[in-house]
Structure formats: C-alpha cells, structure tokens
Amino acid sequence: MEFVLYEVKDAVGVITINREKALNALNSQVLDELNQTLDGVDLETIRCLILTGAGEKSFVAGADIGEMSTLTKAEGEAFGKKGNDVFRKLETFPIPVIAAVNGFALGGGCEISMSCDIRICSENAVFGQPEAGLGITPGFGGTQRLARLVGPGMAKQMIYTARNIKADEALRIGLVNAVYPQDELMAQAEKMAAGIAKNAPIAVRNCKKAINDGLDADMDEAIVIEEKLFGDCFETEDQRYGMKCFLEKVKDKEPFKNK
C-alpha cells in the first residue's frame, strides 16, 4: 500500500489515508487501496475501526480534481461508482467505524466521513461540499447522506452555496458528535473505539445492522428487522455470559468471546 496505512491496537484497527502532500485527496489508487484494506480486516479480532488522515492539515481534502478534470460523461459515472462502492462498503461494514476528522473534510472527504458510523473532529476541522463551484454535483453520496444526517434544508444550503463550515457549526447541525483539540483527537477516538470494543461484538454488529437497515424501511418493517437481530443474539455465548454476569453482579468480567 502506497497511500493507505493500517495498524492494529488491541481490538481496534486504525486506517490512515497517507497522501499528505496532496492533502490526502482521493484518487483511484487511494480508493483501490481503501477497498483492499477493508477486505483485509480480521473481523474475528477487530471490533472497531478508526479512519483518519495523515498530518494535521487535512482528513481528506476531496476527490483528486487533477484526475477528474478530463473525464468524459461515462468516465465520470464510473469514477463516481468506484467511490460509491468503497464508501458503501465502509457504511455497511460489519463493525463500527469512527471518523477522526483532522482538518479539511471537503467533497469526497466530507462524503467518506459521512459513510462512517460516528464522526468526531478537531477544532481546525472544515467540512463542505464545494462541487457546485467546480461545475459538478457531489458524486460519492454527498447529496444523499448529508440530507439524511442534517436534514434536507441544511444539506441543500451547504451543497447549493458550496460554502464550507467550521467544526463548531458542524457540531451544531449534528454533522459531528464532538469537537476536540487537535492533539487530543486520536486519543479520544481510540478511547471511544476501546469502549465499543469492550461490548459484545455480535450484539454491536447487530445494532449497526438494525439501525442501518431500519433507516431504509418503514417503522413496521424496521421493528421486524430489530426483532430478528435481537433474537439472533440469544444464540450466542456472549449473551449467556453477559446476562449471567449481570445477575451474579460480576464486576470484573472477562472479555466477550465474539461467539
């Protein structure tokens, strides 16, 4: 991998987009390497992922405009599909993904952060969908995920005006969950990921699936989705062990086994 780093810290995997000279912009190679990295995550041992960008200036500054500038209509659609396929894989990845947004998250950077389950950012973070100012639409899911996260009115305002917003406004509109000083961001992301990793892994995965699948269904269908995933947990050793510890008031229980 030339542009994507992957390291494991206990039960947490950290993916770093490492194209710092280009502010971690997404070209075809970065997208391919991200795809390969996700395929290589060991889901038996890794219980949460953190996605971040190298350096302090930029999470992901966007898709690579140099690569996009000469695309034909068919090539533009194909590039959009390449990004969407990777981002959808991230969005539906079995385990939770936390975006630790350090600096610019513009265009494809904002879009990839929205494909993660949870977004936290540093005080210097800047979010935006500037595509309309470049003569294009958001192409990696921005028109869809932003409206779902912050509401259609705010999403349309951000996309139509192509105006960037800072960390405090991103927090106010619900685009991010928390804002931290730059030097605390990764420690806070790792703390959150470790907290997720301590819980029963199958239950956490089922929670993610229930939320994601339920958002695409009406309430009657969504409740059935939850019922089935709830029921599935009762076939696991982790459920039996977790409830046994609760009933017996065990304080220092052993880690869940992912079984």
Q: What is the pLDDT of residue 160?
A: 98
Report yes or no on 257 lying in a domain: no
Task: Dump pLDDT digits (tens) for 66-87.
Answer: 888 998 999 999 999 999 999 9
Q: Active-site positions?
A: 111, 131
Domain that holds residue 152: 4-197
For the chain, percent of residues with pLDDT exceeding 90 = 92
Dist CA 223 CA 221 (whole Å):
6
Same domain, 84 and 152: yes
Dist CA 70 CA 28 (whole Å):
14
Dist CA 185 CA 137 (whole Å):
31
For the chain, percent of residues with pLDDT exceeding 70 = 100
Number of domains the chain contains: 2
Same domain, 107 and 208: no
Dist CA 120 CA 196 (whole Å):
15
Nearest to 173 by CA among 186, 163, 187, 185: 163
**For 108, which DSSP code?**
H
Same domain, 159 and 214: no
Report yes or no on 104 lying in a domain: yes
Confidence check: pLDDT of 62 > 90: no
H helix or E strand, kind and range, residue 128: strand 126-128
Could you tell me which residues come within 8 angstroms of residue 10 by beta carbon, excluding any fewer than 6 positions away?
194, 197
Confidence check: pLDDT of 151 > 90: yes
Residues 139, 64 contacting (CB under 8 angstroms): no
Q: What is the pLDDT of residue 1?
A: 87
Report yes or no on 259 lying in a domain: no
Same domain, 178 and 65: yes
Same domain, 178 and 53: yes
Q: What pTM value is reported for the model?
A: 0.95
CATH of the domain at 238: 1.10.12.10
